[in-house]
């Protein structure tokens, strides 16, 4: 046994005083945290960065190897295409109408289900069942339910009241309305559950105090419950925004962008540009459209994270 220098002793794993690098790693959080985080970021974050590169090339589904760097050409192609602006404006308008309607209806249902009501479990399950169905299947289902002939369920139902069959898909505005209804039908359960979760955390004593003080139902909702749910409401609205902005599968299955291209969203345009049915897809242009969506969702994400910090979740 020679005399160890200080430098050597810090490396000696049997020395209990100063742990070596391997021991530090083994006893720290990294062993637990790193694998999951690496795997996640490799498949969730890295593609977003890689998308910037793809958007600046002429990559297609037919050729990955012979790729030319073309700078911002894909973005120029996109903004010079009036169809892009149609889809852009439609998506934005659709989101702006959906957000207040879905939030208010979802909040209303949550307030209704927050009452003591035997059987409310059944009502709650019913409302969230459409959430469990795939968007693509929801689109297919509703194509039957909204069938333009009097065989479709909704038109048959209208017929019972003497109303003529409504052309749910053949006019631009009708098809947009159909998409709106179907989307709300499926998505409202998420808002309801989210707000119900918030309502159930409210301090019962405060609510009872308001009731004793003579506040009526509306006053209790508007002046007591909603102010207490400010941050939760913000989060719910942000989530509706993010969810509606990426509308694609329901468009594909319900209207396929028709009539004409009246119901094409940015997501639909991106997907069909990159992966058309019978030809090589333009991945570069598709990626550029994807980045337009990314820019919007990034803003939404920042608000979301900010609200979560506000809520002191992190």
Query: Which 197-226 positions form the footprint of another protein (CB under 8 A)?
Result: 197-198, 200-201
- Binding marks (x or -) toward another protein, 66..95, rule CB under 8 A? ------------------------------
Residue 135 has which token pair?
């968007």
- Among 11, 18, 24, 120, interactor with another protein by CB under 8 A: 120
- Among 72, 117, 209, 299, interactor with another protein by CB under 8 A: 117
Region binding another protein by CB under 8 A among candidate stretches 14-22, 49-57, 70-78, 82-90: 49-57
Cα dist from 15 to 2, 25, 48, 208, whole Å: 15, 16, 46, 63
- Cβ-defined contacts of 138-145 (< 8 Å, 24+): 138/182, 138/185, 138/186, 138/250, 138/253, 139/182, 139/249, 139/250, 139/251, 139/252, 139/253, 139/254, 140/253, 140/254, 142/178, 142/182, 142/185, 142/254, 143/253, 143/254
- Among 25, 42, 62, 299, interactor with another protein by CB under 8 A: 42
The residues in 136-155 that bind another protein, with binding defined as CB under 8 A, are 136-137, 140-145, 147, 150-153
Measure the CA–CA gap between 131 and 196, rounded to whole angstroms. 15
The dihedral over CA atoms of 43, 92, 172, 159, expressed in degrees to the nearest 10, equals 90
Nearest residue (CB) to another protein, 7 versus 116: 116
> Does the protein bind another protein through residue 35 (CB under 8 A)?
yes
Nearest residue (CB) to another protein, 11 versus 40: 40
- Among 85, 223, 275, 310, interactor with another protein by CB under 8 A: 275
> Does the protein bind another protein through residue 9 (CB under 8 A)?
no
């Amino acid at each position: 046994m020679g005399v160890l220098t200080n430098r050597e002793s810090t490396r000696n794993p049997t020395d209990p005083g100063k742990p070596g690098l391997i021991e530090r790693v083994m006893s720290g959080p990294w062993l637990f945290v790193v694998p999951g985080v690496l795997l996640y970021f490799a498949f969730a974050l890295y593609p977003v960065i890689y998308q910037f590169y793809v958007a600046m090339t002429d990559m297609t589904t037919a050729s990955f190897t012979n790729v030319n760097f073309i700078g911002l050409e894909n973005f120029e192609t996109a903004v010079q295409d009036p169809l892009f602006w149609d889809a852009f404006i439609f998506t934005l308008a659709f989101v702006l109408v959906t957000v207040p309607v879905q939030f208010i209806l979802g909040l209303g249902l949550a307030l209704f289900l927050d009452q003591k009501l035997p059987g409310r479990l059944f009502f709650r399950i019913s409302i969230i069942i459409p959430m469990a169905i795939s968007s693509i299947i929801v689109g297919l289902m509703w194509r039957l339910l909204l069938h333009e002939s009097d065989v479709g369920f909704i038109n048959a139902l209208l017929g019972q009241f003497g109303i003529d069959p409504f052309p749910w898909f053949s006019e631009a505005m009708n098809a947009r309305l159909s998409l709106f209804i179907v989307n709300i039908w499926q998505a409202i359960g998420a808002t309801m559950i989210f707000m119900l979760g918030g309502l159930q955390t409210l301090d019962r004593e405060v609510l009872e105090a308001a009731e004793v003080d003579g506040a009526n139902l509306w006053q209790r909702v508007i002046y007591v419950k909603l102010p207490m749910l400010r941050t939760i409401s913000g989060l719910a609205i942000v989530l509706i925004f993010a969810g509606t902005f990426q509308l694609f599968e329901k468009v594909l299955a319900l209207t396929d962008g028709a009539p004409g291209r009246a119901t094409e969203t940015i997501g639909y345009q991106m997907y069909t540009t990159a992966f058309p049915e019978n030809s090589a897809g333009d991945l570069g242009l598709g990626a550029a459209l994807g980045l337009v969506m990314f820019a919007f969702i990034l803003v939404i994400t920042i608000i979301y994270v900010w609200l979560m910090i506000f809520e002191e979740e992190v």
